[in-house]
Amino acid sequence: MIWEPNYECLSREDMQSIQLDRLQSVVGNVYNRVPHYTKLFDEHGVKPEDIKHIEDIRKLPFTTKEVLSNNYPYGLFAVPLKEIVRIHSSSGTTGKQKVVGYTKRDIRTWANLIARIATMAGVTDEDIAQICFGYGLFTGGFGLHYGLEKLGAMIVPASTGNTERQITMMQDFGTTVLVSTPSYALYMVEVAEEMGVDTSKLKLKVGLFGAEPCTLNMRKEIERRWNMKVTDNYGMTELGGPGVAGECECGEGMHINEDHFFPEIINPETGEVLGFGETGELVLTSLTREAFPMIRYRTRDITMLIDEPCSCGRSTVRMKKVTGRADDMLIIRGVNVYPSQIETVLLETEGVAPHYQLIVTQHNYMDDLEVQVELSGDNFSGKFKELEELERTLRGKINKALQISVRVKLLEPKSLERTVGKAKRIVDMRPKE
């Protein structure tokens, strides 16, 4: 099923005509109502009237994360506070202050976009959806809640925490859809297994996962242990939360809700716009948000766009899995390292569990990366020699994948802290200038 075929299956021409209309209107709004944009557009010598074709979006300057913290809390709102009915704020993974607002119409649009992505994942009004995202300032909980309600699914608003109880709820209420971060889903299945629950007896059908990166290997592991299909969806606080893009049942990338978010990929160093199939930083412009429009927002997320037709029938452009956020990129002795590269190796290696942390330190001005990873439960009683061998194998594989040398430390099972939201993969203890 397709939630809104009138928008999701348009010809390129029709889509671009909607996008242009909406772009002209949002650019006019921010120029007239948000002092930051008035000043910025004037400095760049660009006026709303200059937007005559959709490509003219390239005349507009980018918006960076710093703009949000500099205008904290309400400086970028494009409507009077009286018209704002809700605010949300970032989960703070990268420590920057961001507050976004919603009008009544923004809230309705948001619910509709979530209904679209849930439908893409195969969720229907017959489903029972357990939402294990925090309800609060974080956009995930309320976002998924209103969208799934609009779809007509039955919601179990479980929120986060008390993991054993979450499993009991799944059993008692017959949960068919699990909404969470991939790392929490992995933690939950660990608890379920400890409780002696046979996951193949649960009614779970599909996982609606998002908010953090998840490698293909991690996805397979979650699918195997939960015995359900995993789908990915993407969004961020600055663009209103989840609902920007979602994966359809073909599993070949996430369809972007292009009539609401105009996507571009740029070279993060030069700002040059790249083509389909080229990897770079995702830049998004919100086309319909009233309270908090964003013009050419640099997400810092690394991905690529695909415009080939999808067999699901939707014609919207897709984005590939986000391989990492530029903010999470570590520079170790001059080499760029993403946690996902290490995760891939760990999940391909027998004997270790997919729970890991990267510890970065500095000695005599030299960076040092230690990969701490838990042994899998059945391996823990292993002989010292075998553990030494495992450590050596892992070190060899990671060194080869990253092209730098790292240290590997094997930990007892379950010794790393588990999170109910986004996993904390990096502990960078290098001195900051």
Binder of Zn ion out of 114, 177, 248, 402 (CB under 5 A): 248
What are the distances in angstroms from CA 4 to CA 148, 272, 314?
A: 15, 33, 10
Residues 398 and 406: beta-carbon distance below 8 Å: yes
80 Cβ contact partners less than 8 Å away, ≥ 6 residues apart: none
Judged by CB under 6 A, the chain residues 79 through 138 that form the site for ligand ADP are: 90-94
Is residue 310 at the binding interface for Zn ion, with CB under 5 A as the rule?
yes
Is residue 317 at the binding interface for Zn ion, with CB under 5 A as the rule?
no
Region near Zn ion per CB under 5 A, out of 101-109, 313-321, 346-354, 370-378:
313-321
Binder of ligand ADP out of 325, 371, 374, 423 (CB under 6 A): 325
Q: Which is nearer to Zn ion, 250 or 411 (CB)?
A: 250
Is residue 343 at the binding interface for ligand ADP, with CB under 6 A as the rule?
no
Is residue 9 at the binding interface for Zn ion, with CB under 5 A as the rule?
no
310 interacts with, out of ligand ADP, Zn ion, none, CB within 5 to 8 A per kind: Zn ion
Q: In what order do the strands lie in the sheet with 261-266?
A: 273-274, 261-266, 280-286, 297-303, 324-325
Is residue 344 at the binding interface for ligand ADP, with CB under 6 A as the rule?
no
Q: Which is nearer to Zn ion, 312 or 404 (CB)?
A: 312
**Strand 280-286 to 297-303 pairing:** antiparallel
DSSP state of 78: S
Task: State in angstroms the smallest separation of the CB of 233 from Zn ion.
Answer: 13
Is residue 306 at the binding interface for Zn ion, with CB under 5 A as the rule?
no
Residues 208 and 179: beta-carbon distance below 8 Å: yes
How far is residue 182's CA from residue 424's CA, in Å, rounded to a whole number? Answer: 12
Judged by CB under 6 A, the chain residues 202 through 231 that form the site for ligand ADP are: 210-213
9 by Cβ neighbours in 10 Å (0-12 / 13-18 / 19+) ranks as: middle
Task: State in angstroms the smallest separation of the CB of 250 from ligand ADP.
Answer: 17
Using alpha carbons, select from 25, 30, 5 the residue that is nearest to residue 15: 5
Q: How many residues bind Zn ion (CB under 5 A)?
A: 5
Q: Which is nearer to Zn ion, 284 or 310 (CB)?
A: 310
Binder of Zn ion out of 18, 107, 169, 250 (CB under 5 A): 250
Q: Which is nearer to ligand ADP, 180 or 233 (CB)?
A: 233
Q: Which is nearer to ligand ADP, 102 or 234 (CB)?
A: 234
Binder of ligand ADP out of 299, 315, 316, 344 (CB under 6 A): 299
Is residue 107 at the binding interface for Zn ion, with CB under 5 A as the rule?
no
Q: Which is nearer to Zn ion, 183 or 315 (CB)?
A: 315
Q: DSSP characters for 46-69?
A: --GGG--SGGGGGGSPPB-HHHHH
Name the 3-class secondary structure at 401: helix
Q: How many residues bind ligand ADP (CB under 6 A)?
A: 19
Q: Which is nearer to ligand ADP, 228 or 244 (CB)?
A: 244
**What's the sign of the alpha-carbon dihedral 53, 55, 56, 61?**
positive
183 interacts with, out of Zn ion, ligand ADP, none, CB within 5 to 8 A per kind: none
- Interface pattern 71-90 for ligand ADP (x via CB under 6 A): -------------------x
How far is residue 91's CA from residue 139's CA, in Å, rounded to a whole number? Answer: 8
Please name the amino acid found at residue 394.
Answer: L
Is residue 305 at the binding interface for Zn ion, with CB under 5 A as the rule?
no
Q: Which is nearer to ligand ADP, 167 or 322 (CB)?
A: 322
Only one residue has tokens 């972007």, namely: 256
Is residue 301 at the binding interface for ligand ADP, with CB under 6 A as the rule?
yes
399 Cβ contact partners less than 8 Å away, ≥ 6 residues apart: 405, 406
Per the DSSP assignment, residues forming a β-bridge with 375 are 352
Q: DSSP characters for 230-261?
A: EEEEEEEGGGTEEEEEEE-TT-SSEEE-TTTE
Q: Which is nearer to ligand ADP, 94 or 162 (CB)?
A: 94
Name the 3-class secondary structure at 171: helix
Q: Which is nearer to Zn ion, 266 or 310 (CB)?
A: 310
Is residue 303 at the binding interface for ligand ADP, with CB under 6 A as the rule?
no
Residues of the shown chain interacting with ligand ADP in the complex, contacts defined by CB under 6 A: 90-94, 210-213, 232-237, 299, 301, 322, 325
Question: Which positions lie near Zn ion, rule CB under 5 A?
Answer: 248, 250, 310, 312, 314
